[in-house]
Structure 1
């Protein structure tokens, strides 16, 4: 039994900057100015006090979902942090502090990403600082579960992520040595152009690290994205399964504060239409259906690789 509001579009200008994050070899990302902070928010609340609204049509304890939307928008102006997860924890805590009939709350959000545009400067092109365009590439994700306690709202569970990564590697990937039987029509490929989409999610050993109050222990989605593309560049993988495992190992190696990392990948690999001179090929879209891969791993996988 729960209810809530979703697709709450929140835009905040000149939010606090994310500064002081630890840099890693795979990424140039060292912070985010948050001049334009956009989120697509979902709120889900639980509580026995809401049962009569289902069973008896009694709405006396119901907080209208339109009020929830307005509450989220108001709190966007009060939040002084710099991360999606921090915002969700802040707003969720405010909900529980304000409405005693809410026993627990789940807050989640997809980033609405924007890219700053270049304009002519005195000697070269430079960041506008004023003009942005909405990006339709990968975006960060966060989800925070809060329960009541004697000391106030506490994080019961959490997950962070980056979704809709789309990458193509034009050579250096293969798919061979799989089961061959009467149902097999797919030819083995020693060197293929590999096209994938990828969602990556992670949890922290200490949930407070997800909020970004200690920037050195916060894992930015941009750095995880960059690890994925660097490993894709470096590794000659024999399958998408092999690829995401290698990405997971690198993420856990770079961020020991994480508890786990998980993946959902989708195979969008193009079909070869013509083989031209050298490495050149003509490719076409694959037919439906498409394959997918899911995998979760933790530091025990990293320890096994080091033995």
Structure 2
């Protein structure tokens, strides 16, 4: 999901990567603008968030020919210190009036380009820190607290915005949104059969297995401006994509992880016609069966040994049209 600026050298045959920046900038904002007006979908109850606590881990990348002397001549006259980048990001968290991670990245990226004219391009990316409201006693039983939150280890929203200058104006050149670290276990209704059997094969076919997957999903909009959340009915929340993944996992009796992620991708493209493409990285963490002599569907399972398998796959609207 990363991009770097590359230029032809004097011979015109090689390419140069040249950028620098700051990463792992943790920024927290309380009482940010709520995310409202999200279009509901059948697979999810998510229709918005209060943004009482809004946190991101941000990465900043500067690009431009003006930075070459800092590499080749130890000339720092055009260098913006990465510590200054950190402080810039933290300051802008108080200025941003939007409600999404992608919108914040776009806002800060534009401010960087407006403030430092010699910077040609800037790439901003972030992983959102998830927080859960905690239940507390209320008038009608337990209800979510609007003050106390749990730092969650659950899946995280991801955003990346790559800004270039077009006729002197900051413009979105590329954009990616996503949700990472989805972990799902389905205890039955999964199989893995029909693969090549040869002298290297030791894995037995499984007609019904407990399947444990880790999943990252990324998507790109046909119009990158939709990623900013300024028209919330066209914004695709990470929470809804996560919910689509788990609903399809529940519905489908799949014969492979490849089949599963393809079906998830079709559903995502069906639900969001504003998306151009969707991309997956899945990891197979399926537990190993050690007892199958118990009554009914009961089994005893253990953690799998390393190494583990993975799958990467991308889809666009042509896959949906072919169905």
TM-score tier after normalising by the smaller chain length:
over 0.9
CA distance in 2, matches of 1:61, 1:258: 38
CA distance in 1, matches of 2:173, 2:220: 12
TM-score (norm 1): 0.99
Q: How far apart are residue 101 of structure 1 and its match?
A: 1.2
1:38 corresponds to: 55
SS in 2 for 1:297: strand
SS in 1 for 2:318: helix
CA distance in 2, matches of 1:219, 1:21: 8
CA distance in 1, matches of 2:154, 2:105: 22
Residue by residue over 1:269-305, the C-alpha shift from the partner in whole angstroms, topping out at 9 and shown as x without a partner, is 0000001111000000011000000000011111111
1:105 corresponds to: 122
CA distance in 2, matches of 1:158, 1:75: 20
Q: 2:303 aligns with which of 268, 285, 294?
A: 285
- Does residue 134 (structure 1) correspond to residue 176 (structure 2)? The answer is no
SS in 2 for 1:173: coil
Structure 1 runs of 4+ off > 4 angstroms? none
Q: How far apart are residue 148 of structure 1 and its match?
A: 1.1
CA distance in 1, matches of 2:168, 2:322: 40
CA distance in 2, matches of 1:3, 1:301: 37
Pairs within 5 Å for 1:15-30: 15-30=32-47
Q: 1:7 aligns with which of 24, 37, 41?
A: 24
- Does residue 303 (structure 1) correspond to residue 317 (structure 2)? The answer is no
CA distance in 2, matches of 1:287, 1:126: 42
CA distance in 2, matches of 1:279, 1:149: 61
CA distance in 2, matches of 1:277, 1:180: 31
- Does residue 59 (structure 1) correspond to residue 76 (structure 2)? The answer is yes
CA distance in 2, matches of 1:227, 1:122: 33
Q: How far apart are residue 54 of structure 1 and its match?
A: 0.6
SS in 1 for 2:188: strand
SS in 2 for 1:208: helix
Q: 2:215 aligns with which of 198, 210, 232?
A: 198
Between stretches 47-56 and 227-236, larger displacement belongs to 47-56
CA distance in 2, matches of 1:252, 1:268: 26
Between stretches 143-152 and 247-256, larger displacement belongs to 143-152
Residue by residue over 1:57-104, the C-alpha shift from the partner in whole angstroms, topping out at 9 and shown as x without a partner, is 111110000000000000000000000100000000000000011000
Pairs within 5 Å for 1:143-162: 143-150=160-167, 152-162=169-179
Q: 2:264 aligns with which of 243, 247, 258?
A: 247
SS in 2 for 1:153: strand
User: RMSD value over aligned CA atoms?
Assistant: 0.6
CA distance in 1, matches of 2:319, 2:66: 44
CA distance in 1, matches of 2:138, 2:64: 56
SS in 1 for 2:125: strand
Q: Which runs of 5+ in 1 are unaligned?
A: none
Q: Which runs of 5+ in 2 are unaligned?
A: 1-17
Q: 2:112 aligns with which of 89, 95, 110?
A: 95
2:13 corresponds to: none
- Does residue 274 (structure 1) correspond to residue 272 (structure 2)? The answer is no
CA distance in 1, matches of 2:52, 2:168: 34
SS in 2 for 1:172: coil
